[in-house]
Structure 1
């Protein structure tokens, strides 16, 4: 998208449009248009091309991330865990089994929240002895009486 925007801006420059007009049409700052025009005129067409993101490459490629997603969607018990809840350590073990790549807790968290787009979910804690009909009765009859002060 950004590369197409830069190329379109240069095409408009060649048609004689002003930097300010191009900036409005393309949705960037006029100084960016002037910088792209200078690079193009100096024969630096590569300056308009998309560059890979700086920094270290991810430990898992897209195929591995999808393998991990599929494995996690089976659920924790399918992977031999007693409870059906995921922890970072458990997810890390599944990642290592599915993709063959060991990850730190921080990397597992970034994988879950970033690349997989998942969020933290905590189970509600409720007593096993909880009696929903009795709670509903209490709220309907006792609570109004207490609130009135009788």
Structure 2
């Protein structure tokens, strides 16, 4: 998996992994404590169609603090309302990362059709600071952002009875802010993938999984 790292080294760039996930009013289940003989019960409101999607970037560069940058999308309960990120949302998130990091970025993400849209590909081709690589198909274990979602579901969101969508939104923002201030957690998400970024920005895959990363733009 050295291709993405070699490109990043040549550009002095961050290697940035992207992932997205949806969160609803029904909380994820997690282990908890209860009185002996009492089964713990969390009472929640009836099924809600209100959902929040979050696209997040885990940003890495040797010698620099890892960063977490995210963008929420609120699903409106209207007929015909879009329920997913558009390619322009991903473009805007990449621009935000470029400005916050103050460096070019090598963006690594999965093969979602929106990621491979003509508009996104053309935008990358027109901007020297952005290079895009696709992860192998069906390889979420290679994306450290999956670890971010795991931290949320096992931590701040677990077994919580959300009173309304605003409660869910506040909880998500607070939890993501806490992770942003814990670079050790963001580093740990990378370690969990089995990937290592060397000082010369070579991305090494420790696990023996076949990988082919064709860049959108050389």
TM-score using structure 2 length: 0.16
TM-score using structure 1 length: 0.21
More helix as a share of residues: 1
More strand as a share of residues: 2
Larger radius of gyration: 1
**More relative contact order in 1 or in 2 (CA 8 Å, sep 6+)?**
2
